[in-house]
Structure 1
Amino acid sequence: MLRFLVIAVLPGIHCAIGYGLANSMLIEGDDGNIIIDTLESREAATELQKDFQVISSKPVVAIIYTHNHADHVFGAEVLAGNNLSNVKVYSHSKTQKILDATLGIVQQITYQRAARQFGMYLTSENDGINNGIGLNLKYNKDSTSALLYPTNTFDTDRWNLTIAGRDFVLYHAPGETDDQIVIYMPKENVLFAADNIYKAFPNIYAIRGTTTRDAIQWVSSLDLMRNLRSEYLIPSHTKPISGAEYIYETITIYRDAMQFVHDQTVRFMNKGFSPDEIIGNKLIQLPKRLKEHPYLQEFYGTVDWSIRGIFDQYLGWYSGKSSDLNPDAPNVRAQNLIRLGGGSKKVFESAQVAYSEQKYQWCLELTEALCIYPEDLNKSEIIQLQVSTLQKLASLQTSANGRNWYLTKSLEIQGLIEIKPSPAQVTKTILNSSLKKLFMLLSVNLNYHKANDINQLVLFHFQDTNEKFSIHIRNGIADVKYQWPENIQSNPIDMIIEVIKEEIWKQVIARIKNPLTCLSNDEIILKDGNGEITPELVVQFLTFLSMFTSE
């Protein structure tokens, strides 16, 4: 069964509408093909390449990333095909920086939260339906990445390119991401819109965990896009549309909805309202013409989440409500709530009543408190009621993101799934990382309890690349520098770690190689501050490594 519906938008311009999340575009050039965006995994791209090969057997000479999101970049190596070594990868200059950040220090939590938002573990058997702007994100613990890093980047407002006889204008158009670009083909009057517009309300804040997307900056990019007056618009999600006037009107109403939510949120913020008050009192409702427009249905982003995100963007996490300034710990709040309700049995009865009265949000809050402080209740009964509540809340959600989150959490609390990258995925990430990125990861993986009373300066030298790093453990932090101290004699050095090849260190970090084996094979050589090799350094080295654990 084919995974993709490939539409010929114009001669030589094809849009592959995936059974996954994002689309990929094939543009036939004179002596080679250009790919715009590359899907979310090696496995998804392998299927797509078969379809593209049927259309054109010319070699791929260029790949253009519209932005950094995984569903746009993780299939690149596959789609580059046999011409991999000659393929140029174009993007904005910010793309690689963002990739390094998101694939690095917060990868563990972003993987988990993205799995909930996109319903990566949901199937037709457990009510998985879609992602709001696509069917499924085809990425799970068994998937692999085929990412290629950009080779050609720009940091100006626009970049004119001719590739394989085709003319392109790349515009920096920050919206859903800061590195977002839209691509215009002037001769064909085609605009590739990236993720700046899709057939759903814009995702100004993504519950998988992002900073709030700057609504006014996004609006400005939409103005740029509508003023191009393109005849064809090809979003990276959902189907292409045609007709210059229809496209202009669609982009206009999309940007107007975004500005409306932004401006009204700021208006009520300035009146002293908190996000809960703005949303709970329904102070902001889209005007009828916006609310009913097919491109503004809340299948993906929502007005309420946008309000919270915009508030946080301007004023931060604090709502302004005095009781939110220093809230009780969750276990204390749960205990107080249950005591107020007359004990766990009565609170559980109240939760059951709330469920029967379809007050699912209140039932969820009560069952969450009971799970923290169950007293003498059977916890399995609490979990079962919470599961039923999450499923009811999911059924009431218009946004696929919210629906997927509720359903995924219901599977998690039953112990039916565990969301985390597979060991193979973690290992591959480490082996494909630069040394600089790995040392950056060390600082955020320091167990400060183990390092609390330690003051230690450790130097690293990688003999094959001649790269040098220093790590100063002090005050419960790891101060990582991408060089040795300027005056090495004036700094008390505790240990110098000489590594024969950077690959050896990566294998130690990935737990492929035992550090003791590396020492015995002279793949890692330990020296003290005077350059002497002493037996005591082995224990010091192992103690040093033990501080960088998740335990």
Structure 2
Amino acid sequence: MQKFLCAMLLSTASATGAFAQDAKPASDATIAAQRSMAAQLPVDDGRDLEFADRGFIGTLADPIITNKDGKPVWNLGAYDWMGNSASPDTVNPSLWRHMGLLRKHGLYAVTDNMWQVRGFDVSNMTIIKGQTGWIIIDPLTSRDTAAAALKLVNEKLGTRPVSAVIYSHSHGDHFGGVRGIVNEADVKAGKVTIIAPEHFLAETASENVMAGPAMGRRATFQFGTNLAPGPQGQMGSGIGKGIGGGDITLISPTIDIRKTGEVREIDGVNLEFQMVPATEAPAEMNVYIPAARTFLAAEIATCSLHNILTPRGAKVRDALSWSGFLNEAVNLYGDRSDTIISSHCWPRFGQSEVKGWLSGQRDNYRYLHDQTVRMMNKGMTQVEIAEALKAPPAIGDQWFNKGYYGTYSHNSKAVYQYYLGWYDAVPANLNPHPPEVRAAKMVAAMGGAKKLLAAAKKAMKAGDYRWSSDLLNQLVFADPKNVEGRALLADSYEQQGYQAESAIWRNMFLTGAAELRRGMKAGVSTQSIDMISAIPTGLLLDSVATRLDPKIIGNAALTLNFVISDRKETAKVTVGNAVMISEMGTGHAAPAVTISGPRQLFLALLFLKMPAAQLQMAGLKIEGDRSVVDKLQAALDPMPGAFNIAEP
């Protein structure tokens, strides 16, 4: 049963191969834009390159990381083709410089008894030498890349067990590889400690289970999952390479950190924590290592402006708090740190670098916040603010403040949304037609498809790809079978991708182009049976409730008791008014049906919708009105799959 569940839920969780390269060359307008960008870039003083190379010990001889079945899930050398050449016309020169630094991979010494493995995933694995074993901070995204990283550590530094794991926050690339480095039996036996910020599991469930299907599909665009690395393809993610394949795993934390300044002795090493909730993740913390005079800024400070609202979707973040926590970090740890590292990108060395890096990014988020609010209070809308707001040179000319991941355009809209929501107060935008209806009316109003195509071609010839894609998107949503319109929209998206300084904007434009040309492909799943198994049952049942179809359940009133034998849990489930309410630790006095068995069988019943009769043969016990089970199961949507984005 376990293997079957894994196969079902992980069917899209490994690399799926890239789109066929059907790319066009850079247009004259794009070439001119790239040259203009190159002329505006600040002087490169070489510090980033020196910091990115410092402490290199070695990397794996074989660049291909495979899973247990021998299937490749990560290629360390995916960007070797870049060499030391100048940026091609199809890549923004600022992004080209940035990716030249991010493509480095291997084991690096940070300071005494402290190392990082970089380039084995989108994130970094940090290693601290404890008295008896390794303390690992952020075990990457998948079992396979984490295992390969630990193998390199043991080969280069000497084999030791893992004594503790720290999850800095509730995003999968910071916990998903945990089973590649530790055994859950050792955790349960107390041999391995797992530390996480308060509310870690609840926020993991919210992002990866509750909204996981939608986020997973959108992440295919954000990270360019189906784009091959290349001068006309994927150029990383702005804070790392890309998202690899392999199993996403999770073991529940054994210790929650709850307050800033909390100190824990872990395997003989004192660690101090700074809580930074509602910044890059709802549950997040930084780690200070006093003996190493090193501050790990998790993901609130990296080599790029981050996202206040990530394009893949998430809870909007608090830019003001983000800036405030960076300021707190300067005050608490700036004078005590000689080195600063993060869970992405490369370190910086020297106390002045630590304070300059933190304070520079503090000012970036504060300026973004304050100026968005200032313009907002003048009556400017999201789009107007995004067009007007630019970082001043004192902030924007610092390489680590550039928009390789987040952008001022996207982030200013997020700040606006944080305070005012999506509605801009213009009544015409309060109740517009849905996209397909509006598109058909717009095409008709412009005089039909031929006139719209002519206008779009004129815009493209002038290099106004923003306007051409606006026009052509209307045509494709009105008539997705319009071959010429699809092809031109793909071309328009492609040129905007080539020009983008942000790696993820590039990915989104190029993925849109690829899907218009070649159709939709599956991406990387954010869910796995292992991660779901670690999520508290109550949170899982809340997720199940979001799949209840009111048209199917109708006015049915259902009462069920769940008895989860292997976890000694009970749940009271009530369906009425097309709503499913679950309460843990209690039950109906006289339920219509009681279902008993191990939680794996409940997952199969509610997530995979396996027939109840088949599950009864596997050990699920159903007492009472069996039709109640059938009605509930029939009313649950299947686990969502991919959906269209670039077309209706």
TM-score between the two structures when normalised by the length of structure 1 = 0.90
Identify the residue that residue 414 of structure 1 maps to in structure 2. Answer: 517
User: Alpha-carbon deviation of 1:466?
Assistant: 4.6
**Do the aligned partners of residues 124 and 420 (structure 1) sit closer, same or farther apart at CA in structure 2, a change above 3 Å counting?**
closer
User: Alpha-carbon deviation of 1:32?
Assistant: 1.6
Q: Percent identity?
A: 23
**Do the aligned partners of residues 29 and 464 (structure 1) sit closer, same or farther apart at CA in structure 2, a change above 3 Å counting?**
closer
- Name which of 145, 157, 179 aligns with 1:77: 179
Counterpart residue type for residue 503 of structure 1: Q
Correspondence 1:182-331 to 2 at 5 A:
182-227=286-331, 228=333, 229=335, 230-280=337-387, 282=388, 284-331=389-436
Deviations 1:276-317 (A, max 9, x none): 12223x2x2221111211111111111111110111001111
User: Alpha-carbon deviation of 1:429?
Assistant: 5.1
- Name which of 241, 259, 273 aligns with 1:135: 241
Correspondence 1:351-390 to 2 at 5 A:
351-374=456-479, 379-390=482-493
Identify the residue that residue 254 of structure 2 maps to in structure 1. Answer: 151
Consecutive unaligned residues of structure 2, counting only runs of 5 or more, are 1-61, 64-75, 77-104, 641-648
The answer on whether the counterparts of 1:192 and 1:233 sit within 8 Å (CA) in structure 2 is yes
CA distance in 2, matches of 1:204, 1:103: 18
- Name which of 168, 174, 177 aligns with 2:281: 177
- Name which of 145, 160, 165 aligns with 1:58: 160
User: Alpha-carbon deviation of 1:430?
Assistant: 5.0
CA distance in 1, matches of 2:614, 2:360: 64
The answer on whether the counterparts of 1:59 and 1:83 sit within 8 Å (CA) in structure 2 is no
CA distance in 2, matches of 1:463, 1:42: 28
User: Alpha-carbon deviation of 1:183?
Assistant: 1.1
- Name which of 515, 526, 550 aligns with 2:623: 526
SS at match of 1:102: helix
**Do the aligned partners of residues 82 and 508 (structure 1) sit closer, same or farther apart at CA in structure 2, a change above 3 Å counting?**
closer
SS at match of 2:147: helix
User: Alpha-carbon deviation of 1:38?
Assistant: 0.7
User: Alpha-carbon deviation of 1:267?
Assistant: 0.8
Counterpart residue type for residue 444 of structure 1: T
Larger Rg: 1
The answer on whether the counterparts of 1:431 and 1:510 sit within 8 Å (CA) in structure 2 is no
The answer on whether the counterparts of 2:545 and 2:579 sit within 8 Å (CA) in structure 1 is yes
Deviations 1:400-444 (A, max 9, x none): 11111111222223344423556x965555555543333222210
Identify the residue that residue 452 of structure 1 maps to in structure 2. Answer: 554
User: Alpha-carbon deviation of 1:352?
Assistant: 2.1
Q: Which moved more, 1:503-512 or 1:446-455?
A: 503-512
CA distance in 1, matches of 2:496, 2:308: 22
Aligned residue-pair number: 529
The answer on whether the counterparts of 1:108 and 1:420 sit within 8 Å (CA) in structure 2 is no
Deviations 1:212-250 (A, max 9, x none): 221121112111222222111112111111111222122
- Name which of 202, 208, 217 aligns with 1:97: 202
Tell me, yes or no, if structure 1 residue 87 matches structure 2 residue 192.
yes
Counterpart residue type for residue 331 of structure 1: E
**Do the aligned partners of residues 515 and 366 (structure 1) sit closer, same or farther apart at CA in structure 2, a change above 3 Å counting?**
same
The answer on whether the counterparts of 2:386 and 2:410 sit within 8 Å (CA) in structure 1 is no
The answer on whether the counterparts of 1:19 and 1:134 sit within 8 Å (CA) in structure 2 is no
CA distance in 1, matches of 2:184, 2:200: 25
User: Alpha-carbon deviation of 1:14?
Assistant: 0.7
User: Alpha-carbon deviation of 1:179?
Assistant: 2.1
- Name which of 126, 142, 162 aligns with 1:41: 142
The answer on whether the counterparts of 1:299 and 1:400 sit within 8 Å (CA) in structure 2 is yes
**Do the aligned partners of residues 410 and 517 (structure 1) sit closer, same or farther apart at CA in structure 2, a change above 3 Å counting?**
same
Deviations 1:493-519 (A, max 9, x none): 4x2133233332223335485312344
Q: Which moved more, 1:186-195 or 1:539-548?
A: 539-548
Deviations 1:359-409 (A, max 9, x none): 2122212222212223xx952222111111111111121111111111122
CA distance in 2, matches of 1:247, 1:370: 51
Tell me, yes or no, if structure 1 residue 111 matches structure 2 residue 236.
no
User: Alpha-carbon deviation of 1:73?
Assistant: 0.8
User: Alpha-carbon deviation of 1:122?
Assistant: 1.4
**Do the aligned partners of residues 509 and 254 (structure 1) sit closer, same or farther apart at CA in structure 2, a change above 3 Å counting?**
same
**Do the aligned partners of residues 309 and 27 (structure 1) sit closer, same or farther apart at CA in structure 2, a change above 3 Å counting?**
same
Identify the residue that residue 547 of structure 1 maps to in structure 2. Answer: 635
Deviations 1:165-191 (A, max 9, x none): 222111113331232211112232111
The answer on whether the counterparts of 2:605 and 2:633 sit within 8 Å (CA) in structure 1 is no
- Name which of 580, 584, 599 aligns with 1:478: 580
CA distance in 2, matches of 1:232, 1:209: 32
Correspondence 1:501-540 to 2 at 5 A:
501-511=598-608, 513-519=610-616, 523-527=620-624, 537-540=625-628
CA distance in 2, matches of 1:462, 1:355: 60
Counterpart residue type for residue 138 of structure 1: G
Counterpart residue type for residue 222 of structure 1: L
TM-score between the two structures when normalised by the length of structure 2 = 0.77
Identify the residue that residue 115 of structure 2 maps to in structure 1. Answer: 14
SS at match of 1:182: strand
Consecutive unaligned residues of structure 1, counting only runs of 5 or more, are 528-536
CA distance in 1, matches of 2:445, 2:184: 68
Counterpart residue type for residue 521 of structure 2: E
CA distance in 2, matches of 1:124, 1:154: 39
Counterpart residue type for residue 237 of structure 1: H
The answer on whether the counterparts of 1:498 and 1:524 sit within 8 Å (CA) in structure 2 is yes
The answer on whether the counterparts of 2:212 and 2:527 sit within 8 Å (CA) in structure 1 is no
Superposed CA RMSD in Å reads 2.4
**Do the aligned partners of residues 431 and 19 (structure 1) sit closer, same or farther apart at CA in structure 2, a change above 3 Å counting?**
closer
Tell me, yes or no, if structure 1 residue 350 matches structure 2 residue 451.
no
CA distance in 2, matches of 1:72, 1:520: 38
Counterpart residue type for residue 292 of structure 2: E
The answer on whether the counterparts of 1:427 and 1:510 sit within 8 Å (CA) in structure 2 is no
The answer on whether the counterparts of 1:15 and 1:25 sit within 8 Å (CA) in structure 2 is yes
CA distance in 2, matches of 1:89, 1:437: 21
SS at match of 1:158: coil
